[in-house]
């Protein structure tokens, strides 16, 4: 089965690029960050501290999570746009430091690998979840550029955001994701690393397709 992983920090264009490649190659698509965001939403909603890992895992296992369409449903409630705030993203990066929580969703993520194949994006797709992937990419970009992109994206979705705060939140998230002891954000040993700071999404998509078609 065709398996492509795209990892990297927030705002590097992973989502846009991964979805476009999945569409062009007719493959399934996994946004693993959305799973961490949903868990963050769930624990905040139920007022469960992430330190209480046993209770947190129980809630995650009981939750009825539906990713099957482009919308995300949690216990039948549509939370697609609720999970896109930077508050949820920051909390997601805190709970993502928990080894028990990460292990509890490994199978959930791996079940997305179905014929004819998958494009999976996140932080540890090529290193931990799908180490066997034939094509691994790691996207990066300057923090200022990533904050700008996220700013435009959030504003277009109607969120009220401040660019300075956003840049700080993204840097804090990078710091946590890169320095945690479990599954830290690092390029997989055999990945193709691309700096997208000065590239358009179309240019990045074309670069990836060239590597895949080689």
Is residue 8 involved in binding ligand C5P (CB under 6 A)?
A: no
**112 interacts with ligand C5P by CB under 6 A:** no
* CA pair distance 212, 104, nearest whole angstrom: 31
Contact pattern from residue 24 through residue 53 relative to ligand C5P, giving x for each residue in contact according to CB under 6 A and a dash for the rest: --------xx--xx----------------
123 binding ligand C5P? (CB under 6 A)? yes
Least distance to ligand C5P, CB of residue 32, Å? 4
Among 3, 4, 10, 56, binds ligand C5P (CB under 6 A): 10
CA dist 133 and 113 (Å) reads 11
Contacts for 205-208: CB closer than 8 Å, 24+ residues apart: 205/17, 205/20, 205/21, 205/24, 208/4, 208/6, 208/17, 208/21, 208/137
Verify binding: residue 98, ligand C5P, rule CB under 6 A: no
**Nearest residue to ligand C5P, by Cβ distance, number only:** 33
Which residues within the stretch 133-192 sit at the binding site for ligand C5P (CB under 6 A)? 173, 177
The DSSP secondary-structure symbol of 76 reads T
Q: What tokens were used for 163?
A: 């660019």
Going across the sheet that includes 28-31, the strands are 28-31, 117-122, 2-7, 135-140, 192-195
Which residues bind to ligand C5P, rule: CB under 6 A? 10, 32-33, 36-37, 89, 92-93, 96, 122-125, 173, 177
């Amino acid at each position: 089965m065709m398996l492509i992983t795209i990892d990297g920090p927030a705002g590097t264009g992973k989502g846009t690029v991964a979805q476009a490649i999945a569409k062009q190659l007719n493959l399934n698509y996994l946004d693993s960050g959305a799973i961490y965001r949903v868990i963050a939403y769930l624990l905040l909603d139920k007022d469960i501290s992430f330190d209480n890992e046993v209770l947190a895992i129980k809630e995650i296992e009981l939750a009825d999570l539906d990713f099957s369409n482009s919308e995300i449903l949690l216990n039948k409630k549509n939370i697609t746009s609720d999970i896109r705030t930077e508050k949820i993203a920051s909390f997601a990066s805190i709970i993502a430091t928990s080894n028990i929580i990460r292990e509890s969703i490994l199978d959930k993520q791996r079940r997305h690998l179905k014929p004819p194949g998958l494009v999976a994006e996140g932080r540890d797709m090529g290193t931990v979840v799908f180490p066997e992937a034939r094509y691994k990419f790691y996207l990066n970009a300057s923090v200022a550029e990533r904050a700008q992109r996220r700013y435009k994206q959030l504003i277009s979705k109607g969120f009220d955001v401040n660019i300075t705060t956003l840049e700080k939140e993204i840097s804090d998230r990078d710091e946590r994701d890169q320095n945690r002891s479990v599954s830290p954000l690092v390029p997989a040993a055999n990945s193709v690393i691309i700096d997208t700071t000065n590239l358009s999404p179309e240019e990045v998509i074309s670069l990836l397709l060239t590597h895949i078609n080689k």
